[in-house]
Amino acid sequence: MALVGKKFPNLAVDAMSEMGDTYRINVLKEAVDNKKKVLLFWYPKDFTFVCPTELHAFQAALGELEKRNTIVIGASCDTPEVHFAWLNTSKDNGGIEGITYPILADTHRILAQELGILDAEYSMDENEEMVYSGGNVPFRATYLIDEEGKVFHESVNDMPVGRNVNEYLRLIDAYAHVQQHGEVCPANWEEGKQAMNANRAGVAEYLSQN
């Protein structure tokens, strides 16, 4: 389900804090009520291999994201208790000790199903019985949500492919530039580079200078 240009689903989900507290988070309200952008990233499972590298990478980028008025929220379909156990496992042992942003525990898969990001397929066999395949865990889906709750980026990676956190910083910078200046950002745009006006003259001027 393509969400870009639409409001993020208005759903509350259990979450686990670094202190071991379980509470509810509504991603849409986090953006709108706090007037902040939200970077929501899903990963397949706790206690796996690529996943902790991503969680630590987002943690390392928290300062840069905070400068950009952006909240980070992780998410999987593990239980809050499993999240807390992983939070209490050292980095040397593949854990995520030191992660400070909240992690959604979408145990009932309500939000993940709404987003259509689960590795799950259903079909009928020759006896007209339902056959299920897949791990029923989320792919590496990422959503960037603006201060009004609108999704301005979504992407989904297959399980083995980790994300590049710097690309999300670039996307947030580009969207903030559009918000502030009303210009559009061409291919490979980065903060400090030339943007352009969204008309023929603007494109012609940009191309003539690049």
End-to-end CA distance of the chain: 36
Single out the catalytic residue among 15, 25, 51, 171. Answer: 51
77 flagged as catalytic: no
Q: Give the sign of the dihedral formed by CA 31, CA 34, CA 39, CA 44.
A: negative
Neighbours of 191 (CB within 10 A): 13
103 phi and psi angles, rounded to 5 deg:
-125, 120
Contact status, residue 104 vs residue 71, Cβ threshold 8 Å: no
Give CA angle at 28 (96, 8), nearest 5°: 100
DSSP three-state, residue 75? strand
Catalytic sites, residue numbers = 51
